[in-house]
């Protein structure tokens, strides 16, 4: 996707200025017209992440649309259809930084029709900004987005009660929303300490980078300060080692004619030269004799790094096979219990066959049972359904053609999620997490 004002201009330079492990990834979520794109544009502007010519472009573009002040939504609503309709359709990723932190923000669609895109943007994030229009309060889509954020294990949720200027900066609408969503979070089991509420106006800049005089009754931090202090978890390094093979590397150079490396990205945990690993599904055991990262030999590597491993014995490994440490195995099963968010307008049907993609591994799977469909706003479960419709969230039983090597999502997010692909249309039918 090409952004309307071409704000990806500085990504290459941006990413080279720091370690990517120090980045906070955020999903901006909310219903249609709650102001997500405007908020992100305001953050870019206030953090001086825009060069002077881009600011001038923004001002000119805003005037052409009849706005006296900058329309910050133009910075991220990049598709022509988005700009014409005033809604976000695709996911735009925006990069900016402050002296304290670097950020990648996914501007996700709010319309129910594009919930699948919202899930895509949120799936790679570690925190969520859920926007709520102060005039409208919490909507069904608000509860759905909150529920999906919880399913995807986003560690912190910041509820931005936006457009406070349009309710006269009154405290009552803000408190009503906080009471509703706090109660919902309790029923959902989301930790109270990880839920933050802030009143703001994205279009006018209230409580974005500095405390607003118009909202003197709010004693908390402005939004940017909150974002700068959200912990960036290093949890993946302490989790069990999980490594899926993407490629088997062989060298044609005479000096390396015996080289055989297994390349991929470490999903979780750490690995060191000398560690004993088990190869799945073959259940062979071997010892790590070498680790290469970006062409350099290292003694250890950790979650998030793309590496090439060498083993003490030649093993017949292929794409999707997994290496784990011998004393910390994942669950190995063909019949799995999962929670799905159904993304396509072709309903799920019992006994239908799909492709289950877990990491880079693809396995045929059959939908054997819809145990329940969950209504996000009430958290009530309907136990009589035999299908899932678009945007439904349900617990199911799947039977795979081969064994799946997974961890329950609640214990290991990196190895606990998957997608289902419709074999007929090749569309992504659902995003799922293993629940047991």
The answer to pTM > 0.95 is no
Place of tokens 């573009």: 61
User: Would residue 330 be called left, alpha or beta, if left means φ above 0 and alpha means ψ between -120 and 50 degrees?
Assistant: beta
Residue 423 CA to residue 339 CA, distance in Å, equals 20
Contact predicate 200/220, CB 8 Å: no
Exposure string of 241-276, with b = 16+ CB inside 10 Å and e = fewer, is bbbbbbebeeeeeeeeeeebbbebbbbbbbbebebe
CATH superfamily of 11-233: P-loop containing nucleotide triphosphate hydrolases (3.40.50.300)
Topology alike, domains 11-233 and 331-434: no
**Confidence tier at 54 by pLDDT (50, 70, 90):** confident
Burial (CB count within 10 angstroms: exposed 0-12, middle 13-18, buried 19+), residue 110: buried
**Confidence tier at 234 by pLDDT (50, 70, 90):** low
Domain residue ranges in the chain? 11-233, 237-325, 331-434
Domain 331-434, CATH among 2.40.30.10, 3.90.1200.10, 3.40.50.300, 3.40.50.970:
2.40.30.10
- Write the DSSP string, 177-192: HHHHHHHHHHHHT--G
* Mean of pLDDT over the chain: 85
143-189 pLDDT, tens digit each:
888 988 888 888 899 999 999 999 999 999 999 999 999 999 998 88
Q: Say whether pLDDT at 3 is over 60.
A: no
Which CATH number applies to 237-325? 2.40.30.10
406-421 pLDDT, tens digit each:
999 888 988 998 999 9
Q: For residue 39, how many other CB atoms are within 10 A of its CB?
A: 27
Sequence-ordered strand ranges (E) for 20-67: 23-30
CA angle 83, 86, 92 (to 5 degrees): 65
């Amino acid at each position: 996707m090409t952004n309307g004002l071409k704000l990806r201009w500085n990504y290459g330079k941006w990413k080279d200025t720091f370690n990517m492990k120090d980045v906070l990834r955020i999903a901006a979520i909310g219903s249609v017209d709650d102001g997500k794109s405007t908020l992100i544009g305001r953050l870019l502007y206030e953090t001086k992440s825009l060069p002077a010519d881009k600011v001038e472009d923004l001002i000119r573009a805003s005037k052409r649309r009849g706005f006296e002040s900058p329309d910050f939504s133009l910075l991220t609503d990049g598709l022509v259809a988005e700009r014409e309709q005033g809604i976000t359709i695709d996911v735009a990723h925006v990069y900016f930084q402050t002296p304290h932190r670097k950020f990648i923000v996914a501007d996700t669609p709010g319309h129910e029709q594009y919930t699948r895109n919202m899930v895509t943007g949120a799936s790679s994030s570690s925190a969520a900004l859920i926007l709520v229009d102060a005039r409208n309060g919490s909507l069904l889509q608000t509860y759905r987005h909150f529920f999906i954020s919880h399913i995807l294990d986003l560690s912190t949720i910041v509820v931005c009660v936006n457009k406070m200027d349009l309710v006269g900066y009154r405290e009552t609408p803000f408190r009503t929303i906080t009471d509703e969503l706090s109660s919902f979070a309790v029923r959902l089991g989301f930790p109270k300490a990880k839920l933050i509420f802030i009143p703001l106006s994205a279009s006018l800049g209230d409580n974005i980078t500095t405390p607003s005089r118009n909202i003197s009754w709010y004693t908390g931090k402005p939004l940017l300060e909150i974002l700068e202090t959200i912990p960036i978890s290093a949890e993946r390094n302490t989790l069990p080692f999980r490594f899926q093979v993407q490629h088997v590397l062989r060298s044609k150079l005479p000096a390396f004619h015996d080289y055989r490396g297994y390349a991929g990205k470490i999903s979780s945990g750490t690995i060191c030269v000398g560690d004993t690993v088990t190869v799945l599904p073959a259940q062979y055991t071997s010892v790590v004799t070498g680790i290469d990262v970006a062409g350099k030999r290292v003694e250890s590597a950790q979650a998030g790094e793309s590496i090439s491993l060498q083993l003490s014995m030649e093993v017949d490994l292929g794409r999707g096979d997994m290496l784990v440490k011998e004393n910390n195995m994942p669950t190995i099963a063909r019949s799995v219990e999962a929670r799905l968010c159904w993304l396509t307008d072709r309903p799920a049907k019992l006994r239908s066959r799909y492709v289950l993609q877990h990491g880079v591994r693809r396995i045929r799977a059959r939908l054997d049972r819809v145990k329940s469909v969950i209504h996000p706003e009430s958290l009530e479960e309907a136990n009589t359904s035999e299908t899932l419709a678009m945007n439904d969230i349900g617990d199911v039983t799947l039977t795979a053609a081969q064994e799946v090597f997974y961890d329950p999502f609640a214990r290991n997010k990196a190895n606990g999620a998957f997608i289902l692909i419709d074999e007929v249309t090749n569309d992504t039918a659902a995003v799922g997490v293993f629940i047991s």
